[in-house]
Amino acid sequence: MQAVPTVPTAPIAFGIDIGGSGIKGAPVDLATGNLLTERKRIPTPEHSTPEAVAEICERVLAFFELPADTPVGVSLPAPIRYGEVLFMANLHQSWKGVNADQLMTASLGRPVSTVNDADAAGYAEVAYGAARNQLGTVIVTTLGTGIGSALIVDGVLVPNTELGHLEIDGHDAESRASSAAKEREGLTYGKWAKRLTRYYSVLEMLFSPDLFVVGGGVSREHEEFLGLIKVRTPLVPAALRNSAGIVGAARLAAPSHSS
Ligand code: BGC
């Protein structure tokens, strides 16, 4: 009998990124880090309880016809330790103490692993993007509703750093320097860049990093403000822009690709 040729299936995983304003998902080609289709985005419900958000994640996933064994990863804007949400800054407070792995696994009807959104983004930038092959200390920041951070040393992620909540000049840093703060206060790029200079200078003093990667939706507009941030450390825009959360969550969910 003739042997049936095995068709190599592209390694694929599905990533969902839960943000303060939108919940986005897409299948990811793990060989390249590219999204295989357009992202599906549904606005984050105003009453953003774990149940309400999990239901949206279910709708995002159901939009795609995925094989049952496709790994699914979800990123959340909170520190997550062994699945447990430690605190929640920008979604409903009832997230605190919830086991997000268990919640998402039950809601999506398949094993799901959850990860902090900035860690996912940082991981994706190291695997496929702006921090690829970068040795030393890399800090990836995401500027959005809050400020997320990922600390990566020689390619190894130190999770849950929460550097957006450093207290700087008496303020929670993200309340002054996130892109939501820029919008809220109607800051020009110039004024915002001054606050970002202060923020990145403190990170520079604390970590002496080799590279800063600036991500989040606003990294699309990097030409408007990146050059105005005055620090010694090289500062580059995220290569994966705002799909980094999806890509990192997907890759971390696929065991053979997560190292
Ligand atoms: C949260 C972080 C998150 C960041 C970006 C912060 O307020 O505490 O966990 O990574 O926002 O979403």
Determine if ligand 1 sits within 6 Å of the CB of residue 121: no
* Helix, strand, coil percentages, rounded to 5, for the chain: 40, 25, 35
Query: For domain 12-120+243-257, which architecture applies?
Result: 2-Layer Sandwich (3.30)
Pair type for strands 72-76 and 112-116: parallel
Return residue ranges of the chain for CATH 3.30.420.40: 12-120+243-257, 132-239
How far is the C-alpha of 57 from the C-alpha of 37, rounded, in Å? 17
CA of 119 to the centre of ligand 1 (A): 10
Alpha-helical runs (H) found in 91-233: 100-108, 117-128, 173-177, 179-185, 189-207, 222-225
Output the pTM of the full model.
0.94
Determine if ligand 1 sits within 6 Å of the CB of residue 142: yes
- Walk along the chain (259 residues) and give the pLDDT tens digit of each residue: 445 444 445 699 999 999 999 999 999 999 999 999 999 999 999 999 999 999 999 999 999 999 999 999 999 999 999 999 999 999 999 999 999 999 999 999 999 999 999 999 999 999 999 999 999 999 999 999 999 999 999 999 999 999 999 999 999 999 999 999 999 999 999 999 999 999 999 999 999 999 999 999 899 999 999 999 999 999 999 999 889 999 999 999 997 765 4
Q: Which CATH number, 3.40.50.300, 3.40.50.170, 3.30.420.40, 1.20.810.10, labels domain 132-239?
A: 3.30.420.40
Nearest to residue 216, comparing CAs of 157, 126, 146, 156? 146
